[in-house]
Amino acid sequence: MDHIKRIVVIGGSAAGPKAAARARRLDENAAITIIQKDPDLSMASCGYPYYVGGFFDDRNMLLSTPTGVTRDPKYYINAKGITAKTRFEAIRIDRQNKIVTCRNLATDEIETIGYDKLIIATGSTPKYPPVPGTELSGITTLQSMHDADYLRRIRDERKIKKAVIIGGGLIGMETSEALELAGIEITVIELLPQLLTFLDWEMAKLVENHVRSKNANVITRNGLAAFLGENGKLSAVRLSNGTELPCELAVVAIGINPNVNLARDAGIAVGETGGIAVDQHMQTSDPDIYAVGDCIEVNNLITGEKVLAPYGDLANLQGRVAGENAAIGNSAKFPGTIQTGICKVFDFTAGSTGLSEKAARHAGFDDIETAINASPDKPGFMQGKMLVTKLVVQRSSGRILGAQCVGLGDVSKQIAQWAMAIKGSLTVDDMVNADLPYAPPFSLAIDHSIASAHIIQNKIRGLMKGISCADVKEKIENKENVFLLDARGPDEYEQMRLGIGETLIPIGMLRKRLHLIPQDKNAEIVCYCKISLRGYEAARVLEANGWKNVKVMEGGIVAWPFPREK
């Protein structure tokens, strides 16, 4: 009788069950076992903030198939022929004898399970700040179903009035919205100068402004010094500058650490990032052991560096690869990541793919060009909503290195397009004529992404000299002699304006009012409008009439992240 392959998966959140399911589809006869420490299986952890926020009320939706069947041990054995042992903790891997030792957390009994191929999907643990008071009740993360249940109870009870979110990343932002929807007064505390560090500062500032507009307080450049409490309960937090903020709830969202202890103790190689080292087959330093999900490090496809990429979609992709390879040999590959991410921030969406300008420069790309485009996602007569995109490209080759997009419009579509462009090694010249689907309910005739490519191509070709809003603000603060030209109409100017010393000359009147422009042809002139399309046209008119130092403020008033007069 042929030997029945034994495939054991440690971890039952995202990557582990995906690996087990893929292995079963390719080997009907294998004996497949999932070992899961928690009571739940295959949790949609990225959905936790939306369960907490009341976007849906049925907890089982986080654990169910698209047809509504709960993915519990009974489901796995009946539908997939997979044995799922919940409340079992893997405590040791014996590589020589190919045995996993487990503890039954319900009975405290020890059990051993033999394997031919092992897949480690032990996930991650949330980081906690090394400050006094972490033992107080009222402090939580949002990493597990237990955390989600705790925060959902708080939402439903409506007793807590004030909360702080420690960390302004993806989870922090999503949790802020969830708690604000429960009527809780929110303060976000971020040690770094900005929220959402996958964005460049000027893009993150637009998100911060939106968060503040939702009555949430945001404190940047300030860390946590201590949790303060009374009678064992959280009552306030103290910041690094001594400020004390009263609160009854604190959600810690400052990142995660890969769970690698089990692998390290077994002598499996761990990389410099702290994640388990794997190749493209998801194979570890032991050829019979694979690893997937938050516990591993992977290649960054742009820089070639090893990175941690704890994303739910990547965990599933890696699980599929490991499951196939464990079942039928190393036929599938996961090449790496360009670190594409997106999150909902109240009415805004913020997304990024590839490298930010800051990350690109840090990675050694020194011939970088950037461009910012503000425009709607579809026509105004179809209720288009505004987007702001920042592109990062390698100037010499035109290679697209990264894209960021924020706003009220369809950010997901934009980031998806740029992610595929980066993955396909496309250049700016490839994207300026991209053949995308168009109809007014879905897009402008020239899609926002294509317009973004047009802007950066114009810059590379020397047809436009751009200047960022931050650089304009710095020139004003330094009292530099710069002429600011607002090319909008008078009605627009009365409704909304920056109030930074600008001169209003509508684009339709500019050719007749050139005498109002500084007559020194070398004078520095910055043109803009609401989104700087008319600003660009004004710059072209001035350059055609001999002015040599004309710039366009990229993104216009929409991308201006600072206070304005109106």
The Cα 131–Cα 243 span in angstroms is 15
E runs forming strands in 338-421: 341-345, 348-354, 368-376, 386-394, 400-407
Alpha helices in 282-380 (DSSP H): 312-328, 357-362
CATH architecture classification, 139-254: 3-Layer(bba) Sandwich (3.50)
**What pTM does this model have?**
0.95
CATH architecture classification, 6-124+257-328: 3-Layer(bba) Sandwich (3.50)
Contact 484, 511 (CB under 8 A): no
Q: What is the pLDDT of residue 256?
A: 96
Q: Which amino acid is it at 75?
A: Y
What are the distances in angstroms from CA 244 to CA 240, 491, 493? 9, 45, 42
Q: What is the pLDDT of residue 155?
A: 94
CATH architecture classification, 466-559: 3-Layer(aba) Sandwich (3.40)
The Cα 47–Cα 175 span in angstroms is 11
Taking alpha carbons only, the member of 123, 57, 61 closest to residue 90 is 123
What are the distances in angstroms from CA 515 to CA 325, 483, 509, 521? 73, 13, 11, 12
Q: What is the pLDDT of residue 3?
A: 83
DSSP state letter for 557: G
368-376 and 386-394 strand pairing: antiparallel
pLDDT tens for each residue of the chain, 566 residues long? 468 999 999 999 999 999 999 999 999 999 999 999 999 999 999 999 999 999 999 999 999 999 999 999 999 999 999 999 999 999 999 999 999 999 999 999 999 999 999 999 999 999 999 999 999 999 999 999 999 999 999 999 999 999 999 999 999 999 999 999 999 999 999 999 999 999 999 999 999 999 999 999 999 999 999 999 999 999 999 999 999 999 999 999 999 999 999 999 999 999 999 999 999 999 999 999 999 999 999 999 999 999 999 999 999 999 999 999 999 999 999 999 999 999 999 999 999 999 999 999 999 998 999 999 999 999 999 999 999 999 999 999 999 999 999 999 999 999 999 999 999 999 999 999 999 999 999 999 999 999 999 999 999 999 999 999 999 999 999 999 999 999 999 999 999 999 999 999 999 999 999 999 999 999 999 999 999 999 999 999 999 999 999 999 999 999 999 999 98
Map out the domains of the chain as residue ranges.
6-124+257-328, 139-254, 348-460, 466-559
CATH number of 348-460: 3.30.390.30
Contact 464, 369 (CB under 8 A): no
The Cα 101–Cα 110 span in angstroms is 7
Same CATH fold assignment for domains 6-124+257-328 and 139-254: yes
Angle between helices 15-26 and 312-328 (to 10 degrees): 30
> Is residue 247 helix, strand or coil?
coil
> Is residue 528 helix, strand or coil?
strand
Cα angle 434, 366, 314; round to 5: 55
Q: What is the pLDDT of residue 1?
A: 47
